[in-house]
Amino acid sequence: MALPPPPTEIPLSEAVERYLESCRRRAMIRRLSAATVGNYTVDLHRFLELLPAAGEHTTESVTGSHVDEALLAYANTADHRRKPAPGEQVEDPRKRMATTDADAKAPGSTLRMRRSLSRFFAYCVEQSWATVSPMRTSEMEPKDQGKLRVERTSLDLAQAQALLTHGPGDAASNPHHDRDAIALGLMGVLGLRAGEIVAADADHFTRATPITPASVQVYGKGRTWRTVPVPPWLEDLIVAYRGRLGADAPAPLLLSPTGRRLAVRDIERLLERAVKRTRAADPDRARAVVPHGLRHTAATLMLAEGWDVKVVAQLLDHSSVNTTSQYLDELPGELSVAVNAHPLTPVQT
């Protein structure tokens, strides 16, 4: 039996750029989301910064111990979401070293970096740039991701209602209040991902008929399309918004002030501004939240209302109900209410 030909070694930095270019091409045909490509770009460039003598490495010379050394250095950098202390000078918050365990990267962040590396080195093997992936001998694999930070967890019903009510603002305070109201509804009520919202075009939206509800076609994370029903109040917002833009408006469902397609970061900023408006109007019910936290909100509130978990899984584009169950955050007082309503509770006479 003939042995396979030796790999065609190329410089590691060149392999990273060729892999990222492949990812960008796949994003153009929606095989990957733009946000995923952005994560890969950040992670792989950071890996090259942390890998000792990265400029001397080829795709074949990197070993599992090299990967572990870079991952360990990454895990010991500070979580860039933490704001610097007063007077602290930081040129690049992503490169600041942690001073305490609490300040260090969350295990989930290191796990994401490891997954990005696994996909990259698997691609190197596929392209015959390496014999085997060094990830096969890497030992540093975080298992415990810990609790989600508060902004990624579900809002309770009152907080969600306050955000939908006050978050968009009005025509006087926010010229894009109708667009923002649609985005908040798609995330907080229907549980759409930020990437799914920015990828939606106007012709993906279908108005209701006497026999079918309004709906939007969504291209999901698993590179599949699904039909998501749209409630009447959200349909009215979309129809009015697109009517205001006019028939010659660009294809994306939601537009930036300059008429371009929104990016995921635009959705994040939109939500940050919505939280600020809610805090100003109703501080007792305002709470910081990120887009994924609104996805948790949609799932948690639907399941708390007694929706079948299979229906919720279908709405959120989950292949398994086990994934959906991970989105169920405990609502304040929910456990107490459930216990008090237990069917074996003695009847008071």
Domain membership flag for residue 209:
yes
Residue 99: the pLDDT is 54
**1 domain-assigned:** no
User: Cβ neighbours of residue 260 under 8 Å, at least 6 residues apart?
Assistant: 250, 252
My answer on whether 161 and 269 are in the same domain is yes
Q: How far is CA 183 from CA 90, 173, 247, in A?
A: 34, 17, 21
Residue 278: its pLDDT value, please?
A: 95
CATH code, domain with 115 = 1.10.150
48 φ, ψ (degrees, to nearest 5) = -65, -35
Q: Report the pLDDT value the prediction gives residue 109, as an integer from 0 to 100.
A: 78
pLDDT (0 to 100) of residue 283? 93
116 and 190 housed in the same domain: no
Angle between helix axes 177-188 and 157-166 (nearest 10 degrees) is 160
CATH number of 186's domain: 1.10.443.10
Give the pLDDT of residue 92. 52
pTM given for the model: 0.65
Query: Residue 342 falls within a domain, yes or no?
Result: no
CA distance 177 to 277: 11
Residue 345, domain member (yes or no)? no
pLDDT at 328: 58
Same domain, 54 and 191: no
Q: Are both 72 and 163 inside the same structural domain? A: no
pLDDT at 86: 57
Domain-embedded: residue 6: no
112/159 same-domain check = no
Asked if 107 and 165 sit in the same domain, the reply is: no
CA distances from 221 to 3, 146, 185, 196 (A): 39, 24, 19, 8
Query: Tens-digit pLDDT profile for the chain (349 aa)?
Result: 555 667 788 999 999 999 999 999 988 877 777 778 888 999 999 999 989 888 899 999 999 899 999 888 888 776 655 555 555 555 554 555 545 555 666 777 788 888 899 999 999 999 999 999 998 988 877 655 556 677 878 888 899 999 999 999 998 999 999 999 999 999 998 889 899 999 999 999 999 999 888 899 988 876 788 888 888 999 999 999 999 999 898 999 999 999 999 999 999 999 999 999 999 999 999 999 999 889 888 888 887 777 777 777 777 776 666 666 665 554 444 444 444 554 444 455 5
Residues 160 and 36 in one domain: no
In a domain, 89, yes or no: no
Angle between helices 34-50 and 107-126 (to 10 degrees): 90
Q: Which residues pair with 11 in a beta bridge?
A: 58
Q: Are residues 216 and 71 in the same domain?
A: no
Boundaries of domain holding 69: 12-82+94-136
**Are residues 205 and 109 part of one domain?**
no
Q: Tell me whether residue 341 is in a domain.
A: no
Instruction: Tell me how crowded residue 178 is: count the other CB atoms within 10 A of its CB.
Output: 21
160 and 125 in a common domain? no
- As a whole number of angstroms, the distance between CA 291 and CA 272 comes to 10
* pLDDT for residue 2: 55
Cα–Cα distances in angstroms (integers) from residue 67 to residues 63, 96, 136, in the given order = 7, 20, 10
Confidence (pLDDT) at 81:
53
* End-of-domain residue from the set 136, 167, 198: 136
Rounded CA gap, 100 and 143, in Å? 20
- Same domain for 164 and 112? no
Same domain, 103 and 177: no
The per-residue pLDDT for 139 is: 83
221 in a structural domain: yes
According to the model, what pLDDT value does residue 110 have?
A: 81
pLDDT score of 87: 59
What's the total number of domains in the chain?
2
At residue 149, the pLDDT reads 73
